[in-house]
Each structure stands twice: as C-alpha cells, then as structure tokens.
Chains A and B, each alone.
Chain A
C-alpha cells in the first residue's frame, strides 16, 4: 500500500515536470512544424545556470528566474539566428540544425560544469517531508511541483484554447501552408512562441532539479521523454500533453519501482506501441 502511494505520488511529480517540458515542445512543434531537438538542452543549460546563480546568491526564486531566462534567450538565439532563415517546408534541415545546437550546448555544459552530478535542495521552506494519513511521508517540494504543474496546465490550456496565438497554433497544426498563405505567421509570432516554449523548458530545468538532479545526459533524456509525451498526446495539443505526461510518468515510475533493471526501456515501449497503433498520437489532431 505504501509503495502504491509512493508510485502514485512520484508519478504525479514526474508528470508535472514532463508536462512543463512537453508543453513547450508541443507548442513550437505545433505552430512552426520544427522539431526542436535543443529543447532538452535548454532544460539542462537553464538548470546549470540556475544552479550557479543559487550557489552565489542563495536565492532560489532568482535561480529559477535565471534558469528560465537563460533558456528563453538561448531559444531566441536559435530561432532568430538560425531557424528564421528556413522555409516552413524545410522540416529536416531545421531538425538537423537543432541537433547540431544540441551537441554544441551539451559540450559547452560539459566544458563549463564537468561531468559531476549536482543536486539542488530547493527553497528552505519547502524542504523536508509532509506527513500524510496512513504513516506515509512525502517531500513537501514535490507537492509544490505538482501544484505548479497543475496551475500551468490550466493556464496553458486557456492560452491555447482562448487566445489568438493559441488559435494560430491550432491552425498551424491543421494546415501550416494555409496559415502561411494567409500571411498570419509573422516571424514575431514564431519568435514569441519559441522563446516562450524555451522559457518553460528552463523553468522546468530548475524546478526539476530537486527531484531529478542536474547531470550530463539529462538533455537527451528530457528531450526523448518530452517527445514521447508529445507523440502520446498529439502535437500542439495541451490536453494531450497533460494526459501524455501522466501516462509516460506512470509507466516510467512503475517500471523504475518494480523492475529497476528495465528502467531504460520502459519509455520506448509505450512509444513503440502508440506509434504502431496511432502514429499521430492518442489525442492527435492532424499531421
């Protein structure tokens, strides 16, 4: 019973984090049809910068802000400096270019911060456990993470469902060429969405640090997990990302708890099954 509760709570924590990363990836992918392979790098780069800020100032909110802004700036550079030059049809060259950027950022962080595993305890008032009924205790911070995830999920859902930019994202998923032909997709809208998506990745980087730690290789891991969430949920679909995050987190957590030796593969199984059955995702709208 206790393990079951642990699995449930860990699933909810991981799902909140995955949702934050995947929502940004889903938005940029949906609007611009660019598979941004640096998304996981923004997460990691942000977390490293946030960690350095926290170590020098001891100020957690400032560290989270630094992490988010670093990722946002990096995202802006990737879009404005490189991706803007490509036509909307050049899906593959853009993906390969962002893969190059992924390698550059991975090597830069390795150079600057080394191969060590860093941990970050989180803000002082959120340290330590909460006692729950039935003698279960669980870290306070993770409840905070779940709450933030839920609030952001509602906010993002309203953003995509109710705002004009959200409508553009949905339109871009359905027919990117039509949106382009209508002259709506100004580079500024693209830049805005790209920076916002990267901001979310950086935010998740620091928010996730007390939970996942900070270490090299996390960029690939986060990218693939977020990508699986997007596949499961469907591109540009916030509700889908929410459901996908819970599903992926559940599979990942359950495997790591009950079959730790299979932890590395657990995530590819749902991806393979879902691709085989519904290549556009469980709740996917279009391609």
Chain B
C-alpha cells in the first residue's frame, strides 16, 4: 500500500517535471518549424548546422553531463560517420538508406573499440586519451588517400531523396535534419529517464557507491560511450550530406573542441543545454567570422577559459541561478 502511494507520488513528480520540460521543448520545436519561412536562405543553412551540432552535442551530453565523462575525441565518430556514408554512397554506390545506417554502425563500432581503451581512465586522463584517439583517427583519415582523398577532401556527396521530397533544396534538407533532431531528443529523454539513465547519473555522482550497490559501472559507461559515438555518427552523416564534401579535419581536434564547448556552454546534464550550446557556438562563429576571419580557434579557447572561471554549469545553470535569486526577492 505504502509502496504504491510512494510510486504514485514519484510518478506525479515525474510528470510534473516532464510537463515544464515538454512545454519548453515544444516551444523550441515550433520555433524551429516556422523559422525557415522568415529568414533568408543563407540562415537556413546556418540553422541546419545548429541542428546537426545539437544532435552531436546531445550525444556528448549523455557522456559528459549524465555519466561524468567529458570526451575531447567526439570528432572521431563525427568524421567516421561522414566518411562512412560518403565512401559507401559515392565510391561504392550503396543505396542511401543502407549507407546512412551503415555509417552510423561503423561510428558505433569505432566507439566500441576506442571505449575499451579510453574507459581504462577517468577524469583528466580520460580527456587526454580521447583527444589522442581522435588525433590518431585524423591521421588515418589524412594518410589513407585512396579512401578519404587525404588533404584534398572527399567531394561529390549528393543528398538522397526522402519519400516524395527532393532534399537538394536547403529548406527541405533543413526539415530532414530537424526530423533527426526530434528523434534524437526523444531518444535522449527516454534514455536519461530510464533506469539505465538514472544509473548513469548515479555513476556521475559516485561511481564507487554504484559499484558497491552491485552495478557493473564499467558496462554502463561503456554503453554510454558507444551511444555518444552513435549520436556523433548520425551528426556526421547529416553534415556530409549538408556540405556535400568531407574533410579529414572533421575527425580532428576542432569539431571535438567545438562540441565539448557546446555542452559546457549550454549546461551539462540538462536536456535543453546542448541545443542552447549549439545555437550559441554556431551563432558566435558566424558573427566572429565576419569581423575576425581566421581567429575562431582563439575565441573557442577563450570560451573554455571564461566558462570554466565563471559558469561551469553553463548558460542553463547561469539562468537558473539568476531566476532563483530573482524569485527570492
């Protein structure tokens, strides 16, 4: 009896917090749906990039924000997903749906292999080992010219059709990526609210306690690591179609650093954080590219310093703190 009331109370709390989150998410979704009709074509492309990087950041958020494992090597899976779909659909003429799924599977397998090495370490060691892994992936992509085109890049990736729509138009492709973003957000919410996701958060708070409670913490982290790789692969596939050409640099440190700052800036461990982060970073890169072309990396580095000094819980945390102070008054 008492157990069932407790469960009911828990459910009510769950639904309550779900409702506010859902409203916020629906608001964002409506904005994303109507926005392309009010902005010039160029910015539809920018928004598409925001969406792709939001998917990328959601995956890393699962690893960093919910499991407590900040990775500096997500570019490996992003680039691998992109090259996977490019090589399959262009070089080997594989049908697009198979190429897309195959590329994501390859990115996931790569994460499964890299995870075995990276998860031997925690904390700052983990950061550096994931960075080393993405740098070696870059080296593979850069030197394997016959497959990836090396420094010349891999051109000629064409977008598939999707049911009756052609995706060559920027707006259609935008909605195509938006569909994946919605799927990613739904999948993410289901994951973090599942017992599995709660166990991940337990590991983030205290891995040793979770282990003593009988959880195989390594396996949980390993699965989260692979999931983050899969999200990265999906983002890579979408970016390959979006740009139409792939560069080995996608596996390098820069996309990894960008997506990590997106998660930090948005607010690790929040559902809306990666979307905020992706919007802010892509927006900032657009603006700064006009005024300070070629100095983007310096601003990116500055972003890390500023957020580590003043707002480690990101913009979402910052807003929450301000709201709390405001409501106390």
Asked whether B303 is an interface residue with its Cβ less than 8 Å from the other chain, the reply is: yes
Q: In the bound complex, do residue B309 and residue A97 qualify as a contact, i.e. CB atoms below 8 Å apart? A: yes
Asked whether A150 is an interface residue with its Cβ less than 8 Å from the other chain, the reply is: no
Q: In the bound complex, do residue B308 and residue A103 qualify as a contact, i.e. CB atoms below 8 Å apart? A: no
Interface residues of A in 203-234 (CB under 8 A from B): 220, 223-224, 227, 231
Asked whether B132 is an interface residue with its Cβ less than 8 Å from the other chain, the reply is: yes
Q: Give the contact stretch, choosing among A14-22, A85-93, A137-145.
A: A85-93
Asked whether A96 is an interface residue with its Cβ less than 8 Å from the other chain, the reply is: yes
Complex partner residue of B302 from A91, A96, A104, A268, CB under 8 angstroms: A104
Asked whether A107 is an interface residue with its Cβ less than 8 Å from the other chain, the reply is: yes
Q: In the bound complex, do residue A264 and residue B257 qualify as a contact, i.e. CB atoms below 8 Å apart? A: no
Asked whether A188 is an interface residue with its Cβ less than 8 Å from the other chain, the reply is: no
Asked whether B70 is an interface residue with its Cβ less than 8 Å from the other chain, the reply is: yes
- Given contacts A265-B136, A275-B117, A279-B120, whether A104 and B301 have CB atoms under 8 Å apart is yes
Q: In the bound complex, do residue B301 and residue A107 qualify as a contact, i.e. CB atoms below 8 Å apart? A: yes
Complex partner residue of B128 from A35, A106, A110, A279, CB under 8 angstroms: A35
Q: In the bound complex, do residue A107 and residue B132 qualify as a contact, i.e. CB atoms below 8 Å apart? A: no
Q: In the bound complex, do residue A35 and residue B127 qualify as a contact, i.e. CB atoms below 8 Å apart? A: yes
Which residue of the partner chain A has the closest CB to B69? A92
Chain A nearest Cβ from B217, distance in angstroms = 15
Chain B nearest Cβ from A195, distance in angstroms = 19
Q: In the bound complex, do residue A96 and residue B295 qualify as a contact, i.e. CB atoms below 8 Å apart? A: no
Interface-central residue, A91, A105, A106, A264, by most chain B CB under 10 Å: A264
Asked whether A102 is an interface residue with its Cβ less than 8 Å from the other chain, the reply is: yes
Q: In the bound complex, do residue B132 and residue A100 qualify as a contact, i.e. CB atoms below 8 Å apart? A: no
Task: Please indicate the chain B residues that have their CB under 8 angstroms from the CB of A264 in the complex.
Answer: 136, 139-140, 143
Q: In the bound complex, do residue B136 and residue A95 qualify as a contact, i.e. CB atoms below 8 Å apart? A: no
Q: In the bound complex, do residue A103 and residue B136 qualify as a contact, i.e. CB atoms below 8 Å apart? A: no
Q: In the bound complex, do residue B124 and residue A92 qualify as a contact, i.e. CB atoms below 8 Å apart? A: yes
Q: With the chains together, A212 CA to B249 CA distance in Å? A: 23
Q: In the bound complex, do residue A224 and residue B135 qualify as a contact, i.e. CB atoms below 8 Å apart? A: yes
Interface of A is mostly: helix
- Given contacts A99-B72, A276-B117, whether A227 and B301 have CB atoms under 8 Å apart is no
Q: With the chains together, A285 CA to B305 CA distance in Å? A: 32
Task: Please indicate the chain A residues that have their CB under 8 angstroms from the CB of B308 in the complex.
Answer: 93-94, 96-97, 100
Asked whether B221 is an interface residue with its Cβ less than 8 Å from the other chain, the reply is: no
Which residue of the partner chain B has the closest CB to A33? B124
Q: In the bound complex, do residue A103 and residue B297 qualify as a contact, i.e. CB atoms below 8 Å apart? A: yes
Chain B nearest Cβ from A148, distance in angstroms = 27
Chain B nearest Cβ from A36, distance in angstroms = 10
Asked whether B159 is an interface residue with its Cβ less than 8 Å from the other chain, the reply is: no
Asked whether A261 is an interface residue with its Cβ less than 8 Å from the other chain, the reply is: yes
Complex partner residue of A276 from B120, B295, B302, CB under 8 angstroms: B120
Q: What is the 8 Å Cβ interface bit string for chain A, positions 40-58, against chain B (1 contact, 0 not)?
A: 0000000000000000000
Q: In the bound complex, do residue A271 and residue B132 qualify as a contact, i.e. CB atoms below 8 Å apart? A: yes
Task: Please indicate the chain B residues that have their CB under 8 angstroms from the CB of A102 in the complex.
Answer: 301
- Given contacts A35-B128, A271-B129, whether A101 and B305 have CB atoms under 8 Å apart is yes
Interface residues of B in 120-154 (CB under 8 A from A): 120-121, 123-125, 127-129, 131-133, 135-136, 139-140, 143
Which residue of the partner chain B has the closest CB to A264? B139
Chain A nearest Cβ from B40, distance in angstroms = 30
- Given contacts A97-B309, A268-B133, whether A275 and B295 have CB atoms under 8 Å apart is no
Interface residues of B in 71-129 (CB under 8 A from A): 72, 116-117, 120-121, 123-125, 127-129
Asked whether B290 is an interface residue with its Cβ less than 8 Å from the other chain, the reply is: no
Asked whether B180 is an interface residue with its Cβ less than 8 Å from the other chain, the reply is: no
Complex partner residue of A35 from B125, B135, B140, B309, CB under 8 angstroms: B125
Asked whether B200 is an interface residue with its Cβ less than 8 Å from the other chain, the reply is: no
- Given contacts A99-B304, A276-B117, whether A265 and B124 have CB atoms under 8 Å apart is no
Q: What is the 8 Å Cβ interface bit string for chain A, positions 250-273, against chain B (1 contact, 0 not)?
A: 000000000001001100100110
- Given contacts A85-B309, A107-B298, whether A220 and B135 have CB atoms under 8 Å apart is yes
Chain B nearest Cβ from A193, distance in angstroms = 17
Asked whether A111 is an interface residue with its Cβ less than 8 Å from the other chain, the reply is: yes
Q: In the bound complex, do residue B253 and residue A220 qualify as a contact, i.e. CB atoms below 8 Å apart? A: yes
- Given contacts A35-B128, A92-B127, A224-B135, whether A99 and B257 have CB atoms under 8 Å apart is yes
Q: With the chains together, A224 CA to B132 CA distance in Å? A: 7
Chain B nearest Cβ from A169, distance in angstroms = 17
Q: In the bound complex, do residue B304 and residue A96 qualify as a contact, i.e. CB atoms below 8 Å apart? A: yes
Binding site for B on A (CB under 8 A): 35, 37, 82, 85, 91-97, 99-108, 110-111, 220, 223-224, 227, 231, 261, 264-265, 268, 271-272, 275-276, 279
A-B pairs, 10 with minimum CB distance? A100-B304, A103-B301, A264-B139, A35-B124, A104-B301, A107-B298, A107-B297, A97-B308, A95-B124, A100-B305
